[in-house]
Amino acid sequence: MATDEHVTIERGLGPDGRVALVRFDRGDAINALSPSAMRQLRAAARSFEDDIETSVVVLTGSARAFSAGFDLKNDERKASADEGLGALRRSIAVGPRMCRAWHEMEQVTIAAIEGFCIGGGAALAVSLDFRVCARGAHFRIPEVALGMNMSWGSIPRMLQLMGPARTKQAVMLASERIQAEQAYEWGLVEHLAEDGSALAAAMALANRIAAEPPLPVKMTKATVNRLSGALDDLASHMDLDQFVLTTKSEDFNEGVAAFFERRPPRFRGR
């Protein structure tokens, strides 16, 4: 078993040892995505690039949360902003690079989701091939309510899963929770499980996929992803710079301040 500060990797599971399990657990109640955690998750995905023995990778969070999204209390982004635009862009790129690494994996990927899956956590989840969600879990996309755009390449991926109207609803109505049953109806998740059983259900799905011939499974994934995502770059190549732009707005500062002060934000469009 390979272990990092927040991420552990266990290989050799399932039929013929073709299943791997990646756990992301910061040992707290929210499982936020700090820059360090995102780098570890990106490295975990990339560690499978030359792994021809693994056919399926399951990613799970803690028992209480898949992830609360980007850690707004982390000081690295603020320090980067103080160093100038180039440093800020480099810092912000950590999230999309993590999601891209998981999206581009040859292996079939499955997210096992308990508790909440918020913001960047949802962006990571939709980067995978399948999502198994506990019935008591929920999603929320709070970026707009914080005065920023939803980025990390997630809009095209959500669009493929839910269609235009549901994607707009999920992102624009940032204060609304998307409960597990609703997420299933919308197509945001593919499988529901009883609370506490999301990982077991995800592993069962992984075992079924791993029992199939590995090469045509990988070929099928690659073909479907290329066809369905052929135009994604046209929509997502600018979302990093859009994110940078929104962080320079008064509304962003107001949104983050209101979040920490637990009050309604007062946006002014500037």
Residue with the larger pLDDT of the pair 106 and 237:
106
2-261 CATH fold:
2-enoyl-CoA Hydratase; Chain A, domain 1 (3.90.226)
Residue 248 CA to residue 243 CA, distance in Å, equals: 9
Question: Strand 19-24 relative to strand 138-140: parallel, antiparallel, unpaired?
Answer: unpaired
> What residue segments make up the domains of the chain, in order of their start?
2-261
Residue 83 CA to residue 75 CA, distance in Å, equals: 13
Average pLDDT of the residues of the chain: 90
Residues with Cβ < 8 Å from 79, sequence gap 6 or more?
A: none
Q: Out of 9-13, 66-70, 103-107, 256-260, pick the least confident.
A: 256-260
Average pLDDT for residues 112-129, to the nearest whole number? Answer: 96
Residue 62 CA to residue 6 CA, distance in Å, equals: 11
pLDDT of residue 44: 97
Best CA proximity match to 99, nearest among 76, 128, 77: 128
pLDDT of residue 255: 83
SS3 262: coil
User: Tens digit of pLDDT for each residue in 26-77?
Assistant: 988 899 999 999 999 999 999 999 999 999 999 999 999 999 998 776 666 6
> What are the tokens at 216?
């045509």
89: confidence class by pLDDT, cuts 50, 70, 90: confident
User: Tens digit of pLDDT for each residue in 177-190?
Assistant: 999 999 999 999 99
pLDDT of residue 79: 60
Look at residue 83 and tell me whether its pLDDT is greater than 90.
no
pLDDT of residue 151: 83
pLDDT of residue 78: 61
User: Tens digit of pLDDT for each residue in 198-220?
Assistant: 999 999 999 999 999 999 999 99
pLDDT of residue 248: 82
Look at residue 153 and tell me whether its pLDDT is greater than 80.
yes
User: Tens digit of pLDDT for each residue in 9-29?
Assistant: 999 999 999 999 999 999 888
pLDDT of residue 165: 95
